[in-house]
């Protein structure tokens, strides 16, 4: 693995660095990639890494931190907190927390402040209403839901900020591993709701970061 295999210019070009998708890579491959980051003095974040790989790597280096909840492995330090830009992550239920955790880990790595609101699903919509004032204070809202995926549509009709829907593979039978939630969000009548793929907390985090990119906002 050499530096030419990694897009170290992505940060300057797009405003966020290359991340390492760990799910389909071997421990040795991930280690080599992190070695290239380390050689340049760069921090890095591995996503979708299983515990065995993460523990093997972290056990051999003191600059790696494994977060089992988000399934991430952090090399070095997160970026300094930005002085503007807050993302609310609203989840229908605790079963959606793995996706929420991935999303939050990526946002923290990028220096963005997150506010978590879990168990706000439509089965008890009064819980959402109780958090609405705080959610409205955020600059971007990421809404995570499985089953019928109704929560992003409801939330999009209540807040002024951009809303990014994340369908999750949570639910029985015809929920079909998140397909029902995905289709419901794509067919939403809530104008301007943006939707990422099933369980794609990472993609939602990057979309929020691009919306809040300081260079774009200064133009």
pLDDT digits (tens, 9 = 90+) for 162-174: 999 999 999 999 9
Please give the share of the chain, as a percent, with pLDDT higher than 90: 86
Query: If you average pLDDT over residues 145-164, what whole number do you get?
Result: 96
What is the pLDDT at residue 219?
47
User: Which segments of the chain are extended strands (E)?
Assistant: 20-21, 44-47, 64-67, 72-75, 86-91, 113-117, 140-145, 163-167, 194-195
Mean pLDDT along residues 47-69: 94
How far is Cα 58 from Cα 201, in angstroms, rounded to an integer?
A: 23
Q: Span 86-215: which CATH code?
A: 3.40.50.1970
Distance (Å, whole) CA 54 – CA 73: 6
- Cβ distance 39 to 32 under 8 Å? no
SS3 state at 183: helix
Side-chain-side CA neighbours of 87 within 13 Å: the count stands at 32
Answer whether residue 189 shows pLDDT above 90.
yes
Tokens of 16: 């966020």
Q: Binning pLDDT at 50, 70 and 90, where does residue 82 land?
A: confident
Residue-wise pLDDT for 85-97, tens only, equals 899 999 999 999 9
* Distance (Å, whole) CA 16 – CA 209: 8
Arithmetic mean of pLDDT over the chain: 93
Looking up tokens 């972290």, which residue turns up?
Answer: 58
User: How many Cβ atoms from other residues are within 10 Å of residue 77's Cβ?
Assistant: 10
181 token code pair: 């939630």
The residue ranking higher by pLDDT, 134 or 82, is 134
Task: Please give the pLDDT value at position 104.
Answer: 98
Q: Where are the domains of the chain?
A: 3-75, 86-215
Q: What is the pLDDT, as a whole number, of residue 45?
A: 97
Which of 3-12, 43-52, 153-162, 192-201 shows the lowest mean pLDDT across its residues? 3-12
Q: Which residue has the higher pLDDT, 155 or 4?
A: 155
85 and 115 Cβ atoms separated by less than 8 Å: no
Closest CA to 89 of 172, 147, 163: 163
* Lowest mean pLDDT across 70-74, 78-82, 170-174, 175-179: 78-82
């Amino acid at each position: 693995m050499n530096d030419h295999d990694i897009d170290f210019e992505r940060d300057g070009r797009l405003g966020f660095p290359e991340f390492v998708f760990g799910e389909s890579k071997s421990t040795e491959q991930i280690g080599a990639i992190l070695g290239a980051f380390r050689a340049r003095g760069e921090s890095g974040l591995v996503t979708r890494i299983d515990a065995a790989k993460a523990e093997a790597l972290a056990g051999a280096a003191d600059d790696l931190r494994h977060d089992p909840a988000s399934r991430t492995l952090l090399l070095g330090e997160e970026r300094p907190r930005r002085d503007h830009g807050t993302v609310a992550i609203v989840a229908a239920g605790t079963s959606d927390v793995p996706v929420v955790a991935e999303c939050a880990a990526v946002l923290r790595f990028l220096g963005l402040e997150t506010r978590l609101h879990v168990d706000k699903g439509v089965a008890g919509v009064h819980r959402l209403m109780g958090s609405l004032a705080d959610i409205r204070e955020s600059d971007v809202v990421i809404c995570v839901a499985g089953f019928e995926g109704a929560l992003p549509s409801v939330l999009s009709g209540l807040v002024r900020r951009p809303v990014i829907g994340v369908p999750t593979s949570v639910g029985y039978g015809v929920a079909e591993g998140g397909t029902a939630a995905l289709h419901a969000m794509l067919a939403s009548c809530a104008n301007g709701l943006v939707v990422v793929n099933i369980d794609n907390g990472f993609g939602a985090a990057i979309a929020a970061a691009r919306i809040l990119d300081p260079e774009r906002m200064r133009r």
